[in-house]
Structure 1
Amino acid sequence: MTPADLPTAPLACADLGALLRAGHPAAFPTDTLPALAMAPAWAAELWQIKQRSANKPLILMAAGRDELLAALGMPPPQGWEQLANQGWPGGLTLVLPAKGAVVEALNPGGSSLGLRIPACPMALQLLRCTGPLATTSVNRSGQPACTSPEEIARNFPSLALLAPLPWPMGSGKASTVVGWHQGENGSCWQILRQGNLRINIAEIGRSEQS
């Protein structure tokens, strides 16, 4: 399939960035699976597109650590930087305690926020243009995630896509998710979902502060 065959012509980075900043959804490649994205203020529309309830949080994706940390609304827990050094940029999503407008938009009623920096030059270029984006996989609830722009175009013909095509091929698997768990006996890091990326949490340490 060529760009001319797609229902909606792919847009250059600057044009797609302007569309996203204006509150429209779009899709772009990453090093794992393609991302369905919107500016955080309009994130609720992503659940409508996916036909999914808002009890499954979205991921905040950005080009740099400072932008992600600023969205937390509180200092990150000890050890986050050691983990980030293992998987950013790359297939690691860190779920950290958070509060404020961004977490309410991406995880309504929740107290944590998933953060990621992709290892994909096209994605990073777009994220530098737009700032942080609310993201999720490109699929309807219960269906497999789309892995190519052609598949996205078939299933979501009105969704704007990032040019140029073809997209770089990702791993085809979701990111590894590591979260900060706060329990009665202390707090620690846990692997919540294992993706292609192997993360060593054994040496990160354990906090005895509940």
Structure 2
Amino acid sequence: MSEVFDCSDGNQLISAARAARQAIGRGELVVLPTDTVYGVAADAFSPDAVQRLLDAKGRGRTSPPPVLIPGIETAAALAAEIPEAVRELAEAFWPGPLTIVLPARPSLDWDLGETGGTVALRIPDHELALELLRETGPLAVSSANRTGEPAARSVARAREMLGGDVAVYLDAGELPGSGAASTIVDATRLAAEGAGLRVLREGALARDEIAAAVPQVTIDA
């Protein structure tokens, strides 16, 4: 049976963090707030947990989840290379609603799905999510909804879609903002070839904002 914690209640925060950490350690799923929408999280280094996440969403292995991380030093441990322009983007927009796709380190012992040797990284601008990430390490996280449904901005909506597939729900209330997902940019060519960035999905950050942060780099639509 799922556990639901009201994270606006300070008395529940310690229990909520412990329950979420233990659930992740058991390979179970946790719904947590981010700066964009609620996400459903799994241990990025547990193939079974990642598959459980994909199954809960009704998504196949051709749509691997992004990985949320607590800081740029973790990105350096997961990506084969961090080009200078990516560091500039990270300085400008992390923590925040920008997901950056980079070549993954070949030595990583994980299976996120059919990634083509890449990893999509983001640092969320939400203290509760960051605290959990500091304790668990990288988490595979996708929006807390069934594929094809709008992303959840409340735990109540996430529970309607994911129900008992999730072990722990961290309820931080209705999330502010438009509910737009993070913007995704592909920096793999930048790392491998010195070419430009490609916007895969324009979300909470506009293409022009990204271009202004790295004016020396070509931005392809």
CA-CA distance at 1:146 after TM superposition: 1.7
Instruction: Trace 1:101-180 onto structure 2 (pairs within 5 A).
Output: 102=108, 105-158=111-164, 159-163=166-170, 165-166=172-173, 168-169=175-176, 171-180=178-187
Residue of structure 2 equivalent to 1:3: none
Q: Which of 14, 28, 35 does residue 32 from structure 2 map onto?
A: 28
Q: SS state of the match for residue 57, structure 1?
A: coil
Pairing 1:6-21 to 2, within 5 Å after superposition: 8-10=3-5, 12-21=16-25
Q: Structure 1 residue 205 and structure 2 residue 216: aligned?
A: yes
Within 1, Cα distance between the matches of 2:2 and 2:134?
27
- Counterpart contact for 2:153–2:175, Cα < 8 Å: no
**For residues 101 and 215 of structure 2, what CA distance do their matches in structure 1 show?**
15
Distance 1:165 1:125, change over 3 A: same
* Conserved 8 A contact 2:155-2:170: no
Conserved in 2, the CA contact under 8 Å of 1:103 and 1:110? no
Q: Do the aligned residues in 2 keep the contact of 1:60 with 1:68 (CA within 8 Å)? A: no
1:108 is matched by which residue type in structure 2?
Answer: E
Is the Cα contact below 8 Å between 2:64 and 2:115 reproduced in 1?
Answer: no
What one-letter code is carried by the residue in structure 2 that aligns with 1:117?
Answer: I
Q: Distance in 2 between matches of 1:150 and 1:105?
A: 30
TM-score by length of 2: 0.80
The number of equivalent residue pairs is 201
Contact 1:33 1:171 in 2 (8 A): no
* One-letter amino acid of the counterpart of residue 82, structure 1: E
In 2, distance between residues paired with 1:59 and 1:173?
Answer: 16
User: Which of 73, 76, 92 is matched with 1:66 structurally?
Assistant: 73
Q: Determine if contact 1:94/1:178 at 8 Å carries over to the other structure.
A: yes
Amino acid at match of 2:37: L
1:103 Cα offset (Å): 8.3
Residue segments in structure 2 that go unaligned for 5+ positions in a row: 6-14
The CA deviation at 1:104 is: 5.4
Report the CA distance between 1:160 and its aligned residue: 3.2
Percent identity reads 31
Mapped contact 1:30–1:118 kept (Cα < 8 A): yes
Q: When the two structures are superposed, what TM-score results if normalisation uses the length of structure 1?
A: 0.84
Q: Which has the higher helix share?
A: 2
Question: Distance between the aligned counterparts of 1:191 and 1:13, measured in 2?
Answer: 35
How far does the alpha carbon of each residue in 1:106-162 deviate from its partner, in whole angstroms, 9 at most, with x for none?
242512110000001111111111111001011122222222101112222222344
Q: CA deviation at 1:43?
A: 1.2
CA deviation after TM superposition for structure 1 residue 18, in Å: 1.5
Q: What RMSD over aligned residues (CA atoms) do the two structures have, in Å?
A: 2.6
Q: What is the distance in 1 between the residues matched to 2:161 and 2:215?
A: 42
Separation (CA, whole Å) in 1 of partners of 2:181 and 2:121: 14
Q: Once the two structures are superposed, what CA deviation does each residue of 1:65-97 show, in whole Å capped at 9, x if it has no partner?
A: 11122112x222331101111210010101111
Q: What letter is aligned with 2:195? A: S
User: Unmatched 5+ residue regions in structure 1?
Assistant: 1-5
In structure 2, how many angstroms separate the alpha carbons of the residues matched to 1:187 and 1:103? Answer: 28
**Alpha-carbon spacing, 1:102–1:148, altered in 2? closer, same or farther (3 Å):** farther
User: How many angstroms apart in 1 are the aligned matches of 2:174 and 2:108?
Assistant: 29
